[in-house]
Structure 1
């Protein structure tokens, strides 16, 4: 369909649209160009024939000048076919030719129109201004037998200005078409980039949420399963307790996974499922870790903890959860200290620290995405999160969250 429509567009517009579509512009003329060129050729011939008939009725004009005038007019009609390739050169050449030959007036007008379509106004102003300045001299030397001197000058000036105005209108219309096309292309590109960015942010949010929700439970499973593997002769009560923790952790992980999958399928977070954790859930989180065999000391010194915004409390919960998970994997058997302080107007500070582990710790795979995700949670809200080893060989995570 585009190939068929291209033949009826101006070549300049068609080449620009080809470049927009990703294909190289073709310089060959379209069917529309050939039709317009043929019409301009006929118009130049028609004006030349009319001027030739006027020359035949002028007895004061020598026969040699009349023949020379018509020869120049015929040659100028032939160069109309070059108007698209060399519009400025043709228009400049037609200024002296038009001054010497009345039958080339049609070609002069066509050249002036082509110049106005394909070149900036400064070139049109110079050529048209020169032609208008030569009109009084031309008609003084070769007066028109049918019209008065001032009348023929005014008629020629109006005709030339009309041709220039028409050409500038065509040029502005083409530029507007290309401008609208360019703006539409930029809008499509920006919309595609916004969509890609939204998809990327959504994927990052989903990955961060799944890591925060699910990483804690499988770590408990891994720790207790490893303990059972290393101590197959453990007392029955200890084995039963570890199996209960494994069962409960697996159940909670499956429940969290079902909720996340349900949200993804629905495409809307909604209000279904269990509520998101807040600062009040730290006691339950610490108790859960203690049941798994961890040593955790929790110190909450928060003024009016019930007034903590939900988003701030949820981020603080995730920080503690991720820090406990990392301590369980990389420093088993150590006592983890969790300190939460702050108040309204002063911000909320979360500090989780663990000493170095005793002896060699088995390698536990980890990608560090949890701490990266926590940083992505804290930074956009105006908070900060720092983590790293301590001088004694331990590890600490310190987060400061805004609380207006």
Structure 2
């Protein structure tokens, strides 16, 4: 359900004149066609105004007015009631005019009250107050020019003022209710849009998390494949044992890469699905270092953590990924050099992970996409509540260092 289905709920229909302007001219807009509801409401307003005016006309008849005056009163009153069909286009002018006409024609009093009610529904308080003042003045004038013989002047003025204020209050109440409906509908639409944005943001964060995991996991395996495949390419005359060893490492790395890929795809599954591999933690750091040594790297592990199993799983997994990315970068950008992995810390002090490699033996090879892993590690450390630093060392090497919180 939209606001276009209910044009009378639009704020423009409540606060701005409803003059459609000439069709086709600049600034003009075509007047909407009357609906069945509009015809029913206009007919009921006309009949209600005639009923109220008839009651007032009966009181004037009891005052002993001539038949000619009563006939003129009836014609003027019916004409005033007929003008209510135009109240949607000129509500303010109509309310002012009928407030003046009711002074000489009691039958027009009902039309004046309906016009005030319609003005209070579609316009703000200031024009309603002006038209209400004119209506009250008309009631006072009618009480003196066309008095009701059953009421005193003071009682007629008080009763007329109460009726005018009652119709104005009812119109303002309807206007407030319509504005509340419009506000609630806008709030519902805004809530739906915000929910869609949150869902889109959640999907984007999930895609980024999966992409970061794929980079951290697969880059390590694919680098091993690249190193040993390059060794076979540049040393075709290598002894058969070395060729077999390199081929075995390539086979094992490809198998591990496939397993890691299955593990990443498992992130997309619902919790509890079978086939998910355990996530790495600080306990598996020794296996990572051993795997890098088997690939030909010179890696030294210096761990000052007494019990790696006591490290929280999230912190240990983040530390493992940082060390894995540091070893991958050292293997890509400084092959053949020594690399040191330092791990220290304890509960309450936090966990510090540092990977430092020596200066490259030759020109640093350019690798497409370099730097993306460091960006991912920065995000990982930040999400874990820690810090991440990286940059060249004094001896020409490169180091990455992260501090992660470790609650006692």
Q: Which string of whole-angstrom CA distances, capped at 9 and with x for unpartnered residues, describes residues 256-275 of structure 1?
A: 222332442x3226685332
Paired residue secondary structure (1:353): strand
User: In 2 relative to 1, CA 290–26 (structure 1 residues): closer, same or farther, beyond 3 Å?
Assistant: farther
**CA distance in 2: counterparts of 1:228 and 1:58, whole angstroms:** 122
Aligned residues: 391
The reply on whether 1:139 has 2:135 as its aligned counterpart is no
**CA distance in 1: counterparts of 2:267 and 2:143, whole angstroms:** 86
User: In 2 relative to 1, CA 86–219 (structure 1 residues): closer, same or farther, beyond 3 Å?
Assistant: same
- Measure how far apart 1:389 and its partner are: 2.9
Preserved contact between residue 263 and residue 269 of structure 1 (Cα < 8 Å): no
The reply on whether 1:230 has 2:234 as its aligned counterpart is yes
User: In 2 relative to 1, CA 46–274 (structure 1 residues): closer, same or farther, beyond 3 Å?
Assistant: closer
| Among candidates 255, 258, 272, match of residue 254 of structure 1 | 258
Preserved contact between residue 382 and residue 401 of structure 1 (Cα < 8 Å): yes
Q: TM-score, normalised by structure 1?
A: 0.86
The reply on whether 1:40 has 2:53 as its aligned counterpart is no
Q: Which string of whole-angstrom CA distances, capped at 9 and with x for unpartnered residues, describes residues 136-172 of structure 1?
A: 4531332113445455445434433332233233223
| Among candidates 2, 24, 30, match of residue 35 of structure 2 | 30
| Among candidates 187, 200, 203, match of residue 199 of structure 1 | 203
Q: Which string of whole-angstrom CA distances, capped at 9 and with x for unpartnered residues, describes residues 186-206 of structure 1?
A: 221121111111111111111
**CA distance in 1: counterparts of 2:346 and 2:245, whole angstroms:** 39
Q: Name the counterpart of 2:283.
A: 280
Paired residue secondary structure (1:386): strand
Q: Which string of whole-angstrom CA distances, capped at 9 and with x for unpartnered residues, describes residues 88-136 of structure 1?
A: 2322333322223222112101111111211234543443355335534
Q: Highest relative contact order (Cα 8 Å, sep 6+), 1 or 2?
A: 2
**CA distance in 1: counterparts of 2:84 and 2:300, whole angstroms:** 94
Q: Name the counterpart of 2:165.
A: 161
**CA distance in 1: counterparts of 2:310 and 2:336, whole angstroms:** 35
Q: Which string of whole-angstrom CA distances, capped at 9 and with x for unpartnered residues, describes residues 340-374 of structure 1?
A: 12222221111112223222354433353322221
**CA distance in 2: counterparts of 1:268 and 1:53, whole angstroms:** 81
Preserved contact between residue 136 and residue 153 of structure 1 (Cα < 8 Å): yes
Preserved contact between residue 327 and residue 354 of structure 1 (Cα < 8 Å): yes
Preserved contact between residue 102 and residue 139 of structure 2 (Cα < 8 Å): no
- Measure how far apart 1:30 and its partner are: 2.9
Paired residue secondary structure (2:178): helix
Greater Cα offset, 135-144 or 178-187: 135-144
Gaps (5+ residues) in structure 1?
A: 18-24
Preserved contact between residue 303 and residue 342 of structure 1 (Cα < 8 Å): no
Greater Cα offset, 48-57 or 386-395: 48-57
- Measure how far apart 1:315 and its partner are: 0.8
Preserved contact between residue 378 and residue 388 of structure 2 (Cα < 8 Å): yes
Preserved contact between residue 303 and residue 344 of structure 1 (Cα < 8 Å): no
User: In 2 relative to 1, CA 319–132 (structure 1 residues): closer, same or farther, beyond 3 Å?
Assistant: same
Paired residue secondary structure (1:99): coil
| Among candidates 316, 320, 326, match of residue 319 of structure 2 | 316
